[in-house]
Amino acid sequence: MLSSSIGLTFFLKTPNKKNNIRFIYLRVTVDGLPKETSTKRKWDVTRWDQKTERATGNKEDARMLNLFLDAIEMKLNQYKSDLLYNERSVTAQKLMDYLLGKTVSKAKVLEEFQIHNDELAALVKRGEYADGTRERYVTARKHVQEFMQFKYHVDEMEFRDLNYEFVKDYEFYLKTVRNCSNNTTLKYIANFKKIVLRAIDREIISGDPFKSFKGKKTKTNKKPLTSEELYKLEHHDFSTSRLGVVRDVFIFQCYTGLAYIDAFNLRPVDIKNGIDGEPWIMIERQKTGSETNVPLLPQASEIIARYKNHPLCLKRGSVLPVKSNQRMNAYLKEIADLCGITSELNTHKARRTFGSTVTLANNVPIHIVKELLGHQSVKQTEEYAITEQKSIAKEMHDLKLKLKTKDNSKPEISMEAIVRMQQELDEMKRKLTLQQAS
């Protein structure tokens, strides 16, 4: 909230018994409401200029006093700017409390981080967050603690000790000592920034150490499976049922677009008849809570029927015998080697394959794919729209044919133009005949 008027004034307060030595006071006025306090400094009224609100002369004591008053003014202006930047109200009382040290909190960074993580764990039990989210924040807290030990040789720090230098050094630590990629580094920093913003909202600190920090994500090319790779994976015969089950779950994701956790949680009650009378998957995505309705393609229906009586499905009441995400990804690497697939195979690649190779490459409109994937906006879906070389080749071939046809075609003359030309010719003949007769 922007204040209409903010003023700082230094003045010498007149004592009860008039004399030249007086206390220097500071008055803070916001929207016409003043607060004042003593600076605990005294000064001679004959050496004071009220227009400049500073001591006069070039003596050492005058220069030292003016530096002291300048420091107070800069401190209050910085605090005022921090309040405005964080969209918090500015009052005379807040500025005065800050100057007198009444707003200084000794809250600890890692303590507040742990409070956040404990709250998150409680929400995980209620099903509002995935446990993987909690684990990421646990890891993020661990990295911050290890950085404090590495850089400052301490096990804890106060929020008021955080600054821009801390943030930049933490970024450098993650990239070098922890050997994190740029995007992973920015994710850990974002996790930490959430804790700092909570502290700002709770008025533990006023300034934001992340205010000047700018991080830019590296664009990654996460390609889906090509149609040839998908066919090869579907029709490969594995010698062990272990790999066959993991392959089938992955293929099911490729034809439904379900994320790993949604495939893991899928229950028979989630499959209902849609508006067309055919079976649909009707669920809420665990990650976003958004509704997702996906008609079952024949390939997906066949896999569901295959595992209807699987022991793990009967025990868990699930549609598919999905293993842990870690084991799934480990087995998918083995499957990729056996099928001759050179790109990395993981559970999320299946979702990208559905969004690109299975749907968009087969001319399903992108706004329909958005709904099938449960995305909040088409912009999210566009990241999945990686066009296969085959699709590009087809479009370019059609373009070549159009250009060739255009080059070889001759301009056509309409009947109206022919009639108009004949009329003009007849008129010219008539005029010529009249001229000859005359």
Give pLDDT tens digits for 11-37.
Answer: 998 887 778 899 999 999 988 888 999
Cβ neighbours around 185 below 10 Å, total:
22
Question: Largest Cα–Cα distance in the chain?
Answer: 131
- Cα 331 to chain centroid distance, Å, stands at 30
pLDDT value of position 1: 46
CATH number of 238-386: 1.10.443.10
Percent of the chain's residues with pLDDT above 90: 49
pTM above 0.85, yes or no: no
Find the DSSP H helices in 235-324: 241-256, 260-265, 298-306, 311-316
- 138 Cβ partners below 8 Å, 6+ apart? 117
pLDDT value of position 145: 96
Reduced to 3 states (helix: H, G, I; strand: E, B; else coil), residue 282 is strand
Fold assignment, 109-202: DNA polymerase; domain 1 (1.10.150)
Domains 109-202 and 238-386 share a fold: no
Give the C-alpha separation, 209 to 232, whole Å: 52
Taking a C-beta distance cutoff of 8 angstroms, is the pair 108, 160 a contact? Answer: no
pLDDT value of position 435: 62
Taking a C-beta distance cutoff of 8 angstroms, is the pair 191, 142 a contact? Answer: no
73-76 long-range Cβ contacts below 8 angstroms, 24+ apart: 73/8, 75/99, 76/8, 76/28
Q: How open is the CA angle 282-286-290, to the nearest 5 degrees? A: 60
Q: Is residue 282 scored above 70 in pLDDT? A: yes
Higher pLDDT: 104 or 419? It is: 419
The one-letter amino acid code at 301 reads S
- 316 Cβ partners below 8 Å, 6+ apart? none
Give pLDDT tens digits for 109-161.
Answer: 999 999 999 999 998 888 777 787 899 999 999 999 999 999 999 999 988 88
Q: In the chain, what are the domain boundaries?
A: 6-100, 109-202, 238-386
pLDDT value of position 17: 79
